């Protein structure tokens, strides 16, 4: 049974925590000169964003943790979800720190990032495999609640899903308010489905993600006063991935998180095409930059992607039910 009271309070607490911590942390980031460096090869309209404080994902993580722990419903599932948020957020934080503080523009090397991500993903999936009544089974969309047993393939497959999800959310974070707005919508889907399936603590965490994203948009909407950085995007990816894995619903991510999927797919297509043919399919990838370069204003791209996420969320609910 959907409990509005259960999920409303964490959202409000996370919203309040984010709105309170934001004005305190953003000036600190400015004083420390934790400013974003915009790449020259990106859209020229983004050059004005040079120096905007980054690593604001700390604000998101604070809101989510505070709201979740204050709910009084702490259990193993919640702790694993928070472990995922903090763990992947930590990988992003180290990457941000190297880029922003140590002034090494590429941050962590790709293999270093992937090692950290695969370690956290494996631990989360192993927990689910060992504790869930469904074991190695996953919910198949549009099948009226049918679970398919993947057997030995469950762990490697789900680990890949987690890592892909985290990196896809990271790729989505390229425009003011894009990743936070899309994840806000995705979190509503998981609040509803977690409540319906009886995963109370996961519903609470996702509610906290919703509230934190809503509060963060106060500072991240165009023109952004702060960027979440890899700290925030990977933490949000960890939240989405953990919710799906714990509910054995990892196959729902490409539907409800269709924007994430499209962003990653556009990069894969672009790189593959260029390597094989020397030609680019898009003017720039990820795909949100393509729309900018065909003449859409940044706010239009974000608005259309938000609207698309709403439609995908509705489709995902139909697929789930």
Q: Which residue has the tokens 């604000």?
A: 59
Binding-site positions for Mg(2+): 170, 230
Tokens representing 122 are: 């494996």
Spatial CB neighbours of 43, under 8 Å, sequence gap ≥ 6? 284, 289, 292, 293
Is the omega angle on the peptide bond into residue 76 within 30 degrees of 0, that is, cis? no
CB of 60 closer than 8 Å to CB of 236: yes
Confirm if 217 and 184 have CB atoms less than 8 A apart: yes
Closest-CA residue to 93 (of 82, 81, 83, 101): 101
Cβ-based neighbours of 269, under 8 Å, separated by 6 or more? 281, 282, 285
Cα dist. 195→9, 217, 234, 242 in Å?
14, 25, 24, 15
Joined tokens for residue 23 = 């004005």
Which residues participate in the annotated binding site? 170, 230
Cα–Cα distance for residue pair 156/147, rounded to 1 Å: 18
Residues in the chain: 321
Strand runs (DSSP E) across the chain, as ranges? 137-139, 147-149
With CA atoms as reference, report the closest residue to 229 among 43, 100, 49: 100
């Amino acid at each position: 049974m959907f409990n509005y009271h259960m999920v409303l309070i964490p959202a409000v607490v996370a919203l309040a925590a984010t709105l309170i911590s934001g004005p305190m942390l953003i000036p600190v980031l400015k004083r420390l000169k934790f400013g974003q460096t915009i790449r020259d090869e990106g859209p020229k309209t983004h050059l004005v964003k040079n120096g905007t404080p980054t690593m604001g994902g700390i604000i998101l993580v604070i809101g989510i943790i505070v709201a979740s722990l204050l709910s009084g419903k702490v259990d193993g599932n919640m702790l694993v979800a928070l472990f995922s948020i903090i763990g992947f957020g930590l990988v992003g934080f180290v990457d941000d720190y190297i880029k922003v503080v140590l002034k090494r523009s590429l941050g962590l090397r790709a293999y270093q990032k992937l090692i950290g991500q695969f370690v956290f993903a494996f631990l989360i999936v192993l927990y689910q495999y060992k504790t869930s009544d469904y074991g190695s089974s996953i919910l198949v969309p549009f099948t009226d609640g049918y679970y398919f047993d993947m057997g030995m393939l469950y762990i490697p497959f789900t680990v890949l899903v987690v890592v892909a999800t985290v990196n896809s959310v990271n790729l989505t974070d390229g425009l003011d308010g894009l990743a936070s707005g899309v994840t806000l919508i995705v979190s509503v889907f998981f609040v509803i489905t977690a409540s319906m399936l009886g995963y109370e603590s996961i519903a609470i965490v996702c509610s906290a993600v919703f509230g934190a994203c809503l509060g963060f948009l106060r500072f991240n909407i165009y023109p952004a006063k702060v960027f979440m950085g890899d700290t925030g995007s990977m933490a949000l990816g960890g939240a989405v991935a953990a919710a799906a894995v714990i509910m054995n619903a990892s196959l729902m991510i490409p539907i409800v998180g269709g924007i994430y999927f499209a962003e990653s797919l556009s990069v894969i297509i672009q790189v593959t095409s260029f390597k094989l043919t020397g030609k680019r399919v898009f003017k720039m990838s990820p795909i949100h930059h393509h729309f900018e370069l065909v003449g859409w204003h940044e706010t239009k791209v974000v608005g259309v992607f938000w609207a698309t996420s709403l439609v995908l969320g509705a489709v995902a609910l139909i697929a789930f039910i």
